[in-house]
Every structure is written in structure tokens, then in C-alpha cells.
Amino acid sequence: MKQKTNIHSLTLQDLKNLAIKLGYPSYRGEQIFRELWISGCESFATMKQIQQGFREYLEEYYSFDIFQSYKMQKSSDGSVKFVFHLFSGNSVESVYMPWLTGEDDKISRTTLCISSQAGCGLDCKFCATGTLGLLANLKPSEIAGQVKICEKEIGEKITNVVFMGMGEPMLNYTNVEKSIKILSDEKLTKISRKKITVSTSGVTPGIRKLSKLKPPVKLAISLHATTNGVRDKIMPINQKSNISELMDSVEQYYKTTKMALTYEYIPFKNLNDSDADAKRLAKISKRVPSRVNLIPFNDISFTEPSGVAESLKAVSTEDLQEFANKVRSNGGVVTVRATFGSDIDAACGQLALSERENG
């Protein structure tokens, strides 16, 4: 029996085309889209605006439930880790991060860090997900569905989405692009594309593809080294596309989109934290309008790393700030990123807990 397509994998245009194909006006497709993503309906039966015959067709030919199950774990800092169990048997994780402002602790924005793959095949030495290897590409429904479930459970609208969870988005490009179209449909805007960021470890063909997306989204480069020697050591993908090739694709992305970029950089003690690294990092960041996010190294000892991973050591808080100042003194724009969810293994680089539990 042919596996049913999940209804959440269809874009607004897909749904309009389906309605027309079945002899209904195109606005019926728009109604379905609204029911799924704006109203948050939880079954075909609850789509009260849709004619019974159309609902029965959807029930017969499409599946509805996105995940087999999911669970949540709340951090003391207000962040929440979601573990989604897929029908394939794999699991993925997302992290909800509320950003507070002012003395009244009101939420100024809500960010969801979402996954695009179960596991990851790139084997970056500082990332727990990479120890799993690539298990599966997520479908558009499984990518965008992380936002739907989070909003339902948290009771807050997600304002910002970052593709910085499990997996390399550019190696599941088609499904990632479709999920972006679902989450940021121009007519029924759920999330502004200016508030969607796709992070890549340096898959240059994917960067060039993403540059053609209209309207564009933000791009983040997971850099973490300023020389090919160090980057080869901690990020094997650099051996396929070195820093020079990566920067060529970055410049093309900016030329096409006019969108400022972000560079993500984890300073490791006595590896990539020298004065020369700070100078080179500032120089790289000035090639096109961009900023540098400095990220504290988060412990991934729960994955029992060995080899290169075991040798990586975090710099102190003081040295992290000093490195930031050195980059600034060389003309770079720098933010030292706050860490969310470290007490629940939900901080940057730590997403692999569910697989360890189920392993």
C-alpha cells in the first residue's frame, strides 16, 4: 500500500491546486491551509469550514498526525526542549527560547530552534548530533510541524525560527525550502522570512540554491575556524568546500539577496582563540555586511566523545569576552550568545539526548 502524504507537507498553492483538481473553488484550499496553520486544527474532522465530501477525500488519501508522540522538558531558564518521535522510529529535538526584556520580564520574542534531519552525517567534532550519523531527512510536515506543536503546547506565537537544530539543512534542501514556504506564506504570513534563519556548516551548493529563494531568508554560517587547517580538523566538510570556496558562495548570497549574514563561532582553548584568529575572523566578517555570534562551548560528554572531540576545551567566560573585544577592535560586529537549556542538554551542540535514551 502506498504511504499517504501528510497534509501538513502541502503548501498553500498545493492545497489550492488540489481543490481545483477535485472541482472545488481554489479558496477551499486556502481554508484548509488556515485550518492547519492558523487555527491549529487537530484532525480532518475538526475542519468545520470544509465540505464533508472534501474532508472525506482528505481522510482517505492523506495522513494528518505529524508525529507518533512527543514530550517536553523545561529548563530553569524558561527554555523548553521538545523531543518528537517520528513514525519512522527516529526522534528529533527542538528548543523553544523565550527572550525577555525589561524589568517586568515580558517576552519580547520567541525563537524555536528546529531540526531538519534526524541525526547528521557531517561529523562536526563539537556537535553531539554528529555522533549519531545521518538517520533520515525530515519531511516538510515534520520540519514545519515542530512549530505547530510548540505553539500549541507553549501557548505563544513563535516569532523567529532558526534551522540550527539537528541536521544540516542544505543536505535536505528541497524539504527545508518547502517548509519555509509553509511557515512564511506571503498571503497568510505566519512568520516573516526576515525572522527565519537557515544555518549551514558550509554546503556551498545549498547556499547558492537558497540565494534564489524569493523573498529570501537569513543565512548563518557555522564557521568556527579561520584557517583551513583547523577547520579541516573540527569540521570535515571543509575538505570538500574550503574557506575560500565558502566565502565565494557567501558573497554571491549577499549580492543576490542583500541580506546581512551571521557567522557562528565557538572559541576553543588554544585552538582558534588567538589574536591572529580574532583578526582573521574580523576580516572574514567584513567581506559582506555581517555579524559574529560567539557561542560558548557546551559539554557533550554524555555522547562519550573520543579523539578530536575529547581534546576540545571551552574558553573561560572572561577569555570569551576578551576574544569578542579583539574581534571588535579589528572592526568586527560581535554578539556573545546567551546559552539556553544547558541543564536539560538543550544548549547549542547538545541535541542528541533522545537518541541516547532510545539507543
**Domain definitions of the chain by residue range:** 5-63, 69-358
Name the catalytic one among 35, 93, 142, 168: 93
Topology of the domain comprising 69-358: TIM Barrel (3.20.20)
CA distances from 301 to 3, 126, 232 (A): 39, 10, 22
Kindly report, residue by residue over 296-317, the tens digit of the pLDDT. Answer: 998 776 666 556 777 899 999 9
Q: Are 5-63 and 69-358 in the same CATH fold?
A: no
Strands 218-222 and 196-200: parallel
Q: Which class does domain 5-63 fall in?
A: mainly alpha
pLDDT of 77 above 80:
yes
Q: Give the pLDDT of residue 358.
A: 47
Name the catalytic one among 113, 124, 348, 355: 348
Share of the chain above pLDDT 90, in %: 79
Q: Give the pLDDT of residue 194.
A: 94
- Pick from 92-106, 137-151, 332-346 the range whose average pLDDT is largest: 137-151
| Cα dihedral across residues 234, 306, 93, 173: positive or negative | positive
* Mean pLDDT to the nearest integer, 162-186: 96
Is the preceding omega at residue 215 within 30 degrees of 0, hence cis? yes
pTM comes to 0.93
Q: Is 264 a catalytic residue?
A: no
Instruction: Say which range, 119-128, 204-213, 254-263, 302-311, has the weakest mean pLDDT.
Output: 302-311
Q: Is 93 a catalytic residue?
A: yes
